[in-house]
């Protein structure tokens, strides 16, 4: 345009006409030149998707299950394969495509849900929560957080339902759960053995008299108008006749329950944790649990401290972050006071069962 204005001032009309034509012609030639230089589309590529060309080129060689090669770190393979001229170009804009298949990151990151390799099967109020919380700080252990009650209450839901409750684990990790009522449920040993005969079993046992009082204390906290402990524990206290049908009493007959388990599992596949030693020497008990599970002894006394307020061992603050961890208020309640005579009567009642249990497992737990 500047050219046209200049000519209109300086030249007569006939000359002006020739000058304008010259000007338009040179503009047209410049345009043709521009188009020929950038005709390969590098100014505005047709497809902004950096993966599309790559997918097309490789598709013939790939099987459907193979990963899409263009999902590898951009540039790693493609820069070597591209012609030099193309490599000099500015990088194509990164496009977010919803239809690009995602790599299976969840699989890589979290592993798979597996049926448990080891189960804490009992006993109620034995210290089962403490064992699970202590063993699960081991990096090779992952555990279901809540009691699943699969083998006693939810068996009809099937193994896939059960598996769904498990945490994701890597190949090297073991899966665990705890449901203390399993130990006294008749069908459970058969059902666990039907799932996997090599399932490792852990039983946390505790003096059956203190266990019964602990059980009663828990029930009383939820049902304040419960009859007294003595009323429930004895059919006739003056004659020393214990009511074996009361659950709090029945659970403590360890020898009887164990007989049922030994029909389906060898003794070597069952590990017994002392509920008493779990409080006085948690690291020692955890060392034995780790050995039984075939784990490296990683959970050691470094991990515990005795919390005076709680009156129990708790987990120390992890090095990285977090805070010290004690079990909740429902663990370590102050027990209901039971008179000495009733306790002595219950000790007499349990003694033969305890002795039988010590013989069966080859260990004296010294419940006196
Ligand atoms: N470290 C630590 N902290 C708190 N409590 C501990 C610990 N170790 C063992 N225990 C004892 O665990 C008892 C509860 O047992 P369970 O976890 O098996 O109970 S439950 O069956 O799951 O309800 C609980 O019983 P009670 O003292 O009668 O409440 C505790 O004595």
CA of 206 from ligand 1 middle (Å) equals 10
42 is in an annotated binding site: no
What CATH superfamily is the domain 111-361? P-loop containing nucleotide triphosphate hydrolases (3.40.50.300)
Rounded to the nearest angstrom, the distance between the alpha carbon of 65 and the centre of ligand 1 is 50
Q: Using pLDDT thresholds of 50, 70 and 90, give the confidence band for residue 132.
A: very high
- Which pairs with CB-CB distance under 8 Å and at least 24 residues apart come from 338-346? 338/213, 338/229, 338/230, 339/230, 342/229, 342/230, 342/233, 342/234, 342/237, 343/209, 345/234, 345/237, 345/240, 345/242, 346/208, 346/209, 346/212, 346/233, 346/242, 346/249
Please, are residues 248 and 175 in contact by the beta-carbon 8 Å criterion? Answer: no
For residues 253 and 123, the answer to whether their CB atoms sit within 8 Å is no
Give the pLDDT score at 28: 52
Atom of ligand 1 nearest to the CA of 178: 22
125 annotated ligand-binding residue: yes
The Cα 161–Cα 106 span in angstroms is 20
Q: If you average pLDDT over residues 264-292, what whole number do you get?
A: 98
| CA nearest ligand 1 atom 26, residue | 332
Question: Is residue 8 very low, low, confident or very high in pLDDT (cuts 50, 70, 90)?
Answer: very low
pTM of the model: 0.74
- What was the pLDDT predicted at 323? 84
Does the pLDDT of residue 291 top 70, yes or no? yes
pLDDT for position 263: 98
For 10, counting Cβ atoms within 10 Å of its Cβ (0-12 exposed, 13-18 middle, 19+ buried), the class is exposed
Active site residue 125: yes
Q: What band does 296 get if pLDDT is binned at 50, 70 and 90?
A: very high
**331 SS3 class:** coil
The upper half-sphere exposure of residue 344, i.e. CA atoms within 13 Å in the direction of its Cβ, equals 4
Of 46, 109, 124, 125, which residue is the catalytic one?
125
Q: Is the pLDDT of residue 324 over 90?
A: no
Short-list 121, 117, 197, CA closest to 152 = 121
105-109, 179-183, 299-303: which has the minimum mean pLDDT? 105-109
pLDDT digit string (tens) for 177-186? Answer: 999 999 999 9
pLDDT of residue 86: 34
- Give the model's pLDDT for residue 318: 75
Most confident residue range from 52-66, 96-110, 351-365: 351-365
Separation CA 298–CA 200 (nearest Å): 19
Is 60 exceeded by the pLDDT of residue 267? yes
Taken as a whole, the chain contains a residue count of 368
The pLDDT value recorded for residue 350 is 98
Band the pLDDT of 17: cuts 50, 70, 90. very low
Burial class for 359, CB neighbours closer than 10 Å (0-12, 13-18, 19+): exposed
Distance CA 71, CA 60 (A): 17
pLDDT computed for residue 27 by the predictor: 52
Q: Average pLDDT, whole number, for the chain?
A: 79
Between 298 and 317, name the one with better pLDDT: 298
d(CA 83, CA 90): 14
Number of H helices and E strands in the chain, helices first, is 16, 11
- Give the model's confidence band at 88: pLDDT under 50 very low, under 70 low, under 90 confident, else very high: very low
């Amino acid at each position: 345009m500047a050219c046209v204005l200049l000519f209109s001032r300086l030249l007569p009309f006939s000359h002006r006409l020739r000058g304008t034509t010259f000007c338009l012609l040179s503009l047209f030639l410049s345009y043709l030149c521009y188009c020929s230089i950038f005709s390969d589309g590098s100014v505005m590529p047709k497809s902004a998707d950096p993966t599309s060309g790559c997918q097309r080129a490789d598709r013939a060689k790939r099987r459907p299950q193979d990963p899409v090669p263009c999902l590898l770190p951009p540039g790693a393979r493609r820069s070597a394969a591209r012609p030099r001229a193309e490599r000099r170009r500015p990088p194509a804009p990164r496009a977010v495509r919803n239809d690009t298949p995602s790599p299976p990151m969840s699989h890589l990151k979290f592993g798979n849900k597996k049926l448990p390799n080891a189960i804490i099967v009992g006993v109620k109020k034995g210290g089962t929560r403490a064992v699970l919380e202590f063993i699960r700080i081991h990096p090779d252990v992952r555990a279901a957080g809540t009691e699943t009650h699969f083998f006693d209450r939810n068996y009809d839901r099937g193994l896939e339902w059960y598996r769904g409750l498990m945490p994701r684990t890597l190949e090297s990790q073991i899966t665990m759960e705890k449901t203390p009522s399993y130990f006294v449920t008749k069908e459970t040993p058969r059902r666990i053995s039907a799932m996997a005969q090599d399932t490792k079993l852990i039983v946390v046992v505790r003096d059956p008299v203190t266990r019964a009082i602990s059980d009663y204390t828990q029930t009383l906290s939820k049902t304040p108008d419960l009859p007294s402990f003595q009323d429930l524990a004895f059919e006739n206290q003056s004659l020393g006749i214990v009511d074996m049908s009361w659950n709090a009493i029945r659970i403590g007959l360890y020898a009887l329950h164990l007989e049922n388990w030994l029909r389906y599992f060898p003794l070597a596949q069952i590990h017994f944790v002392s509920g008493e030693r779990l409080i006085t020497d948690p690291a020692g008990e955890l060392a034995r649990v780790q050995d039984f599970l075939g784990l490296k002894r990683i959970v050691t006394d470094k991990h515990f401290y005795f919390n005076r307020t709680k009156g129990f061992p708790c987990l120390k603050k992890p090095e990285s972050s977090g805070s010290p961890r004690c079990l909740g208020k429902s663990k370590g309640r102050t027990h209901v006071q039971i008179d000495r005579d009733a306790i002595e009567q219950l000790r007499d009642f349990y003694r033969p069962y305890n002795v039988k249990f010590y013989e069966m497992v080859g260990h004296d737990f010294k419940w006196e």
